[in-house]
């Protein structure tokens, strides 16, 4: 678990170095974080070398129109699901042409949670172009 701003910045610097060393570019697709991930990453000097763009798709409509998330996926699994974040990274990669995508969707609270998906549930997808996504759900 990350518990300090310094740890977050350290992880961002490690990611930046990896992307620079590999001459690769990152795109992010965010929901519950509302652009915060893109902001933290672009706070790093030189981020324009490896950060392509960020999508803030807070609403289901935005997920559909910006990233191509299917209405069926949203209806069946919900916005906060591994299936949805997988479609978010896929769409971000297709729209941007970046090499690597990160997507995050979650239930920030204070309301909106359920027994199955309580407040604090967050789903992540990391995906390299032409690869299957790596998915994780935390609560």
Residue from 103, 93, 110 nearest 125 by CA: 103
- Cα first-last separation, the chain: 12
Q: What is the pLDDT of residues 29-45, one digit of tens each?
A: 999 999 999 999 999 99
Residue from 57, 68, 64, 71 nearest 103 by CA: 57
Tokens of 16: 């930046």
Q: Is the separation of the CB atoms in 28 and 101 below 8 Å?
A: yes
DSSP 112: -
- Asked if the model's pLDDT at residue 86 lies above 80, the reply is yes
Q: pTM here?
A: 0.93
- Asked if the model's pLDDT at residue 90 lies above 80, the reply is yes
Topology given in CATH for the domain delimited by 5-138: Maf protein (3.90.950)
- Asked if the model's pLDDT at residue 139 lies above 90, the reply is no
Percent of the chain with pLDDT strictly greater than 90: 86
Q: Measuring CA to CA, how many Å separate 41 from each of 34, 46, 130?
A: 14, 10, 24
Q: Is the separation of the CB atoms in 28 and 41 below 8 Å?
A: yes
Q: Is the separation of the CB atoms in 73 and 86 below 8 Å?
A: no
Q: Can you tell me the mean pLDDT for 96-124?
A: 94
């Amino acid at each position: 678990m990350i518990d300090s701003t310094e740890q977050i910045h350290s992880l961002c610097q490690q990611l930046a170095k990896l992307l620079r060393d590999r001459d690769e570019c990152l795109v992010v697709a965010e929901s519950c974080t509302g652009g915060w991930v893109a902001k933290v990453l672009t706070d790093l000097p030189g981020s324009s070398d490896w950060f392509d763009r960020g999508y803030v798709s807070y609403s289901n409509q935005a997920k559909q129109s910006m990233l191509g998330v299917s209405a069926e996926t949203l209806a069946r699994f919900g916005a906060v699901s591994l299936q949805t974040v997988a479609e978010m990274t896929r769409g971000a990669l297709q729209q941007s042409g970046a090499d690597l995508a990160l997507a995050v969707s979650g239930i920030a609270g204070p309301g909106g949670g359920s027994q199955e998906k309580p407040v604090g549930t967050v789903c992540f997808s990391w995906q390299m172009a032409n690869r299957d996504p790596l998915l994780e759900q935390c609560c």
